[in-house]
Structure 1
């Protein structure tokens, strides 16, 4: 999988910005340091103008789809305008290699000349993540020309995923393996279940990301006046309905279903929490998922924060040893959807304990999180500065714990924040503008440049034209 060719080097000096982006001040001890280390780690993976290596040392060389997805999810919140530009260029680089049938490469070298592709039916979530990255890059930068240029590639990808449905239930099917897993698994999806599991045939992670990508592209098309928005939205709703009927166990979403029809009810933390974010989990399902997280709080959040799964895989279903790597280990990318899901379901006490655990007792280097942590001891793995882990954590911090959000041309701001985080300040670049945010204990009001904003269910929505004038958002937060 890896190609240890070269360590990354920042070629363009404009990437280096002395200003602090992302979180700058927090009332919770250790959180500023953790954020700074993760943000530094993301910046240090940049190689030239169009690449983030998957880790700081370039062990995983070039652009990798799922690594970039989580890295971008957090990196756009904590990156300078020049760093945001690297993500735009990187996605253009990827788009040139999207094939006519919608197949997306899993890795591309920094110069963009060489791309690597999986066998059919492998890592289908990575394809959907390309679409999600295009939409999120447009939402954060407001670059309409970028969105229009990459729209055809996005449509090809979603049409290709639709063709992966072989049994007529609208859900894409992956490949199947015969016999126990001894190395790389079936990998219908990889993002939350890992690349060492026997997640055969009908995999929930694939349906999850496919549904999310359909929703995202539908929204972008509607905002920009591109055709097909309603059809994409209708397909998204149909996929969600089918996935709920197929995978919901009464308490959570099952991990996968074999070609034989055997359902594997393994709890995969990232899959279930991401389903809360997208609405794949309806309100009652989201509550059940949050109940499981709270019931298993010590295992999932405290002992090893960001644990991939509950328990271990059955013998033969994963090539990792129990409690190691994807078989019960902890991957900090999972802390992203965990924070957002806990906030969305109002589990504030649990979220507060989780964020405190991350900020004060998680081993990190100056380059951010390590690759994986042992599920029993919490000992860190050998590689640090992992793009996906650093980005995943910052994604959850900004959109879950601090309550920011993006939806098309709109930024949303929640008026309820953990009291342990207050006071907090942060800075981001949105639609070409520097946005300075400040949270302090208050009456729940939110202002934009000192003008009060209307709230709907405690959330303010801000829509501005792309420009250069800075914005100042003040949140008189209700302590959660």
Structure 2
């Protein structure tokens, strides 16, 4: 007994004689040991793994370096980037190595691929026959696709879809749960916005509009910085409203979405007000604002929020927060813009949001005849609904901004003010069919020659997409527009205002708009059609939304042009020598209807991190397959899906750079109440949403790179 005890003590003493450094060194074998010691030894810590085959070479991982064995029998230490663990699959480091060595390549050369593209991966394992699991990981180290192939005669092949975060994509081969090999950059994933449905009119919309809008892009140096934005179709200057509204379209192809908003922030006045036109030195233009406008501040808030959506840049968003707060304070307190008795935004009597007021032609400050852009003693004041739905929406967005980078208490106040504005507006201006265009502050005032209770003005279409209406209100507005679709009267029901004002109600000094059917006085505007179509898709009128898109696609096909407005008979509206046939405003609204409405991809955060996906392809029975990619070039944010339909079901494969998504699958009309949903083959219980006569089977996804199916008997 004493001999055994003595031997045990000796063993303990021998083990204890080895220092931690010696124990670590004993875990590192040549040729890795020499390279490890040369790189700092214990300063870089112990190995995180045994050697394994990475990129056809044996490699061993440490906390800050990867040591790679060379063909000459030596090894070299490679410094790892700071956040390398966030970009490397855990399986590459943690799984034990297999005894077999796998090499992974592509069956045909592909350096850069799009999401959803098929990757034919070849697995080579000399003298091996059996199953191999192949996994794809994205640039954030997240598993995006996997499958099993059988290797015979040392070779196997499998096809997996590309997806996940943009950048280098990993391919990993496993045998019985052990790592046989990995390729750190089998392809580079990039994304460009695209849409393929097999319907030529629909599929042509995005490339045509993108080409048209390129003609509306303006860039020049201002105060030592290059600014870029999208001009008005009828004016060469950079107007805040035109640029912001065109963001509905340029988000899919524009890299610089912040410089112009920075310039407007820098031009903000001490009272919080903003100009509507920015300086343009080459044209000798200084920043200015048409006095009658009361929507500039909410447009600035909306523009900043949407630019943040595209970039995901919280630091940039926070840099605008003080100016955003000042803008909100100005528009809700300044007596020139705010009616304290009504608790609503006020403005002179303009045609919807436009910048000239009711009354005959006046004289400008420089002594020339002009529309009434200025506030004058006889100006008619009142409440225009579009100012207030726009402000309510902007306050909702500002609350989100506060919750993200500011003060949650302020956020709650903005939410409450947004709700209060809509409650007061509904009581004042909602007439059961739409918002009454203008409610004068002087109850005795009535415009000549028109019944205001029958007028439908264009910001009703904008209200559909501002998250401020009840479902009933939105449906009533859509039905009101649809009821005015009369092709004997006008080629489209996208009226700026209907019925228009009599000739001379708004003096234009000889310019367009003085006569009914011209410009904003009853002209036909694609921007109305686009907003109307997006709202129709959202609120259960999907066939109507598709009908509008197809009519606009046909207009582009026939003319290869898009104007800000048209005469009711279809003639393009030419407001002056600066008019261009590239109406980015209306074209952007149509792109919103295409990608957010028909394709159904709505970013509910930024960079598509949290997305609402509602593919509405069943609205066209002849469409059985659609592939859609939406990308913000201003960041790495994108989402992509493949939608397929067969006789008894719908399948959706979804991928992207983000984290979560709410998936809502529109069910064909003929489908009964009994439906079954699976997510990656696992049965789940969907929520059935009803909007009008439309039904959606919905599920919340906690991760992307998933396949959702809905089947029915």
| Shorter-chain TM-score tier | 0.7 to 0.9
SS at match of 2:199: coil
Tell me the alpha carbon deviations over residues 317-369 of structure 1, each in whole angstroms, 9 at most, x when there is no partner. 33421112112111212222111211122112222222211112346765x51
Equivalent position SS for 1:330:
coil
Pick from 543, 568, 577 the counterpart of residue 375 of structure 1: 568
Q: 1:284 aligns with which of 459, 463, 472?
A: 472
Aligned position for 1:217: 398
Q: Match for residue 141 of structure 1?
A: 311
Q: Larger RCO: Structure 1 or Structure 2 (Cα < 8 Å, ≥ 6 residues apart)?
A: 1
Matches within 5 A, 1:429-444: 429=632, 432-433=635-636, 435-442=638-645, 443-444=649-650
CA contact (8 A) 2:519 2:573 kept: no
Alpha-carbon RMSD: 3.5
Aligned partners of 1:300, 1:259: CA distance in 2, in Å? 37
- 384, 389, 407: which one aligns with 1:203: 384
Scaled by the length of structure 2, what TM-score is found?
0.55
Question: In 1, distance between residues paired with 2:642 and 2:271?
Answer: 47
The 10-residue stretch of structure 1 (267-276 or 20-29) with the greater mean CA deviation from structure 2: 20-29
CA deviations on 1:47-81 (whole Å, 9 max, x unpaired) are 2542224158xx723420111012112111x21xx
State the alpha-carbon separation in 2 of the partners of residues 230 and 246 from structure 1: 25
**Which of the numbers 486, 501, 510 marks the counterpart of 1:313?**
501
The partner residue of 2:219 within 44, 47, 55 is: 47
User: Equivalent of 2:611, from 411, 433, 458?
Assistant: 411
Residues 322-471 of structure 1: pairs in structure 2 closer than 5 A: 322-362=516-556, 368-379=561-572, 381=574, 383-409=580-606, 410-417=610-617, 418-419=619-620, 423-429=626-632, 432-433=635-636, 435-442=638-645, 443-444=649-650, 446-449=652-655, 455=663, 457=689, 458=696
Q: 1:441 to 1:300 in 2, by over 3 A?
A: farther
Greater fraction helix: 1
Shift in alpha-carbon separation, 1:323–1:401, aligned structure 2, 3 A: same
1:98 aligned to 2:292?
A: no
Q: Secondary structure at the match of 1:274?
A: helix
C-alpha separation in 1, matches of 2:572 and 2:710: 36
Give per-residue Cα distances to partners, 1:129-179, cap 9 Å, x unaligned: 111010011122211011100111111111111022234222111136674
Matches within 5 A, 1:171-186: 171-175=344-348, 179-180=359-360, 184-185=371-372
Distance 1:219 1:385 in 2: 33
Deviation of residue 199 (structure 1)? Answer: 8.2
Residue 87 of structure 1 pairs with residue 257 of structure 2: yes
Match of 1:67 among 218, 234, 242: 242
Distance 2:566 2:207 in 1: 20
Distance 1:265 1:142 in 2: 43
The answer to whether the 8 Å contact 2:644/2:651 transfers is: no
SS at match of 2:566: coil
- CA change 1:146–1:118 in 2 (3 A) is same
1:185-233, Cα deviation, whole Å (9 max, x unpaired): 5699xxxxxxxxx984311111121111111111222233534100000
Aligned equivalents of 1:349 and 1:160: distance in 2?
42
Q: Aligned equivalents of 1:452 and 1:144: distance in 2?
A: 19
Matches of 2:540 and 2:481 in 1, distance apart? 13
Return closer, same or farther for 1:123/1:98 CA change in 2, 3 Å cut-off.
Answer: same
- Is the contact made by 1:266 and 1:309 (CA closer than 8 Å) also made in structure 2? no
* CA displacement, residues 219-277 of structure 1 (integer Å, 9 cap, x when unaligned): 22223353410000000000000110111112110111223225733544531122222
The change in CA–CA distance for 1:435 and 1:300 in structure 2 (over 3 A counts) is farther
Identify if the C-alpha distance between structure 1 residues 107 and 438 changes in structure 2 by more than 3 Å, giving closer, same or farther: same
Aligned residues: 436
Higher strand proportion (structure 1 or 2): 2
The equivalent of 1:303 in structure 2 is 491
Partner of 1:166: 339
Q: Deviations over 1:370-390 (max 9, x none)?
A: 232111334454521133222
Whole-angstrom CA distance in 1 between matches of 2:702 and 2:660: 14
For the pair 1:226 / 2:403, whether they are aligned, the reply is no
Classify 1:477/1:64 alpha carbon distance in 2 versus 1 (closer, same or farther; 3 Å): farther
- Quick one: structure 1 residues 300 and 346, their matched pair in 2 at CA, closer, same or farther if it must change by over 3 Å? farther
Question: Is residue 28–residue 356 contact of structure 1 (8 Å, CA) maintained in 2?
Answer: no
Larger Rg over CA atoms: 2
Q: Which of 420, 424, 431 is residue 242 of structure 1 equivalent to?
A: 424
User: Where do 5+ consecutive residues of structure 1 fail to align?
Assistant: 1-18, 189-197, 465-470
